[in-house]
Structure 1
């Protein structure tokens, strides 16, 4: 997880430089969206694999594939090769994320799972401090390719450990759990539907990057495919916020989509509309990563005091306040530093809500289907990021075309983000685990009701 965070925070800022170097700036939205689109596929594959044979094999495959795809990106001679590298890296990231969550659910005792997940979040602290400046220094001194090669070299160490140290251990899926979970029947998604949704996500993100017939056609095809196939990858009644796992999966989409869209637009506003130095934008990302890790640490120690669904509602409320602060920064008289603080505030909300939602997803899922639950959460997160970002970008592009100042477009984007966050706060009660209050009052963790995860 440490190297996953380092790779993400080091590589992402360099993608525009790589696209410019490869004469492919026009296809940059496809390169940026390929990772998220492919993580859908990786998450579903990893979840099914973890359920059938344990988390060891998909984790091994994920870290080995990560090394290979970083080398593909490092040796890119065209923008299409870079897009292919990012797409396959997304598959690897989906495998690793779901495998880690499933491994914690299958291996750790109930009272340690929340703390294990907070440790996973803490693994991002050092990468958030060192990743972006170190990658920028290396790219400026040598080349962006050296960053990809370097990250691949570092990742080779855990890849070798996964292959050599884990190959002799038996691959066992989670033990069957006696009935009593709120989700007694779980369906596995079909691979064709997963591929269709991954392609649709990439098409949608590419389509909203400009206003012309070609981009409109791509966006339309992407939306049609998402409407047709996305429900097949999620638990029944997800879009209706059915109680238990469906509502938990839906809230992951709403909160993740809102946060990562805010994380995309605040730096853009700081750079283009408020004209702040690049170092200020870097502080925004660093502060957000530290705030997320700190809030995750706090939630790991509140499991016996505050029910998980209430932590989700509190996190959503904090995120709503953060979006309001970002919207205020579209007023020229408000200092740009307030926008930086909005990212940290939103990260606090995510640090409380995200681990709680994962723990709730396992609490609603039998032990032998926790890989599926992790895959559904990963799929929901990717879909939420794709859809919320696409709708917000479309509004932003339309308002920008009709206004001489970029600030009204940013204001409209922030106001739109209130909708998914408010929905998450209102629906948090539907994720509640039965008798969670009684369990908390008796000193037992919410996990005792039927499992947990990130």
Structure 2
């Protein structure tokens, strides 16, 4: 054994994961953290803000009697999406479920936002709920695969904040959008906003949790 070997061992032990020491917003995890938390934030915003725009949409589409279906359809398909996402992620990883979920969520928003009848609007809400269910569960799987154990509480806390903040400001923001731009933009604006966080996070998800 040479005199250099002990110091080499110390160096090896002292540099386990410098990225982990930086936290969830460190250079190695920043793009992933910002991207997935932003996706959660947008899904939560839509879930809490839509109640403000729904009465206006139902009246304009002559569908007040079908009002409840727009909510129940969303939540029913969301539960189905969550179950499917868990099985899908276990078998093939979260990337497929996540991309399919984001695509479905965005497509449902577009269908609902451009609907000319209440049943089409309800269909859009159902597609949107299914996509949202896929996304939420897939993101939890991403956290389990992409982050070391000691960083997971921080990113989960950010997810929780991503649901709390929209519940406070979402209805107010949706009311302002509905009043100034129309109820359709409560739905049509989110697919545009989701492009940036998805583009930011997907390469990191593919590398770390694929």
When you count helix as a share of all residues, which structure comes out higher?
A: 2
Distance 2:99 2:113 in 1: 21
Does the Cα contact within 8 Å between 2:40 and 2:136 map onto a contact in 1? yes
Deviation of 1:312 (Å): 2.1
Relative distance call for 1:425 and 1:243 in structure 2 (3 A) is closer
Once the two structures are TM-superposed, the CA of residue 327 in structure 1 deviates from its matched residue by 2.0
| Distance change (3 Å), C-alpha of 1:293 and 1:430 | same
Rounded to whole Å, the distance in 2 between the matches of 1:236 and 1:413 is 30
Tell me how far 1:305 sits from its aligned partner. Answer: 4.1
Aligned residue in 2 for 1:236: 25
Match of 2:7 in 1: none
* Correspondence for 2:63: 276
Equivalent residue, structure 2, for 1:82: none
Q: 1:303 to 1:289 in 2, by over 3 A?
A: same
User: Which residue number corresponds to residue 257 of structure 1?
Assistant: 45
The answer (yes or no) to whether the contact 2:146–2:209 under 8 Å persists in 1 is no
Q: Over residues 62-104 of structure 1, what are the superposed CA-to-partner deviations in whole Å (9 max), with x where a residue is unaligned?
A: xxxxxxxxxxxxxxxxxxxxxxxxxxxxxxxxxxxxxxxxxxx
Q: 1:363 aligns with which of 145, 161, 185?
A: 145
CA distance 1:424–1:185, shift in 2 (3 Å): closer
User: 126, 131, 136: which one pairs with 1:349?
Assistant: 131
Give the superposition deviation at 1:362: 3.3
Give the TM-score of the pair, scaled to structure 2.
Answer: 0.75
Structure 1 regions of 5+ residues with no counterpart?
1-178, 187-234, 400-408, 438-454
Residue 195 (structure 2) pairs with residue 422 (structure 1): yes
- Count of residue pairs the alignment pairs up: 194
Change (3 A) 1:422 1:434: closer
CA displacement at 1:372 relative to structure 2: 2.7
- Kindly indicate whether the alpha-carbon contact (under 8 Å) linking 2:81 and 2:131 is maintained by their aligned counterparts in 1: yes
SS, match of residue 349 in structure 1: helix
C-alpha distance in 1 between matches for 2:92 and 2:82? 14
Pick the aligned partner of 1:382 from 158, 164, 167.
164
CA change 1:183–1:397 in 2 (3 A) is: farther
Q: Do 1:261 and 1:389's aligned partners in 2 also have CA atoms closer than 8 Å?
A: yes
Q: Is the 8 A contact 1:296 1:352 kept in 2?
A: yes
* Residue 248 of structure 1: aligned partner: 36
Match of 1:335 in 2: 117
- SS of 1:236 mapped into structure 2: coil
How well do the aligned residues superpose, as a CA RMSD in angstroms? 3.0
Whether contact under 8 Å (2:73, 2:126) holds in the other structure is: yes
Give the structure-1-normalised TM-score.
0.38
Per-residue CA deviations over 1:96-116 (Å, capped at 9, x if unaligned) read: xxxxxxxxxxxxxxxxxxxxx
Change (3 A) 1:290 1:336: same
Alignment partner of 1:322 is 2:95: no
Structure number with the bigger relative contact order (C-alpha 8 A, sep ≥ 6) is 2
Distance 1:384 1:237 in 2: 25
Q: Distance in 2 between matches of 1:337 and 1:397?
A: 24
1:152-185 deviations in Å (ceiling 9; x for gaps): xxxxxxxxxxxxxxxxxxxxxxxxxxx5696444
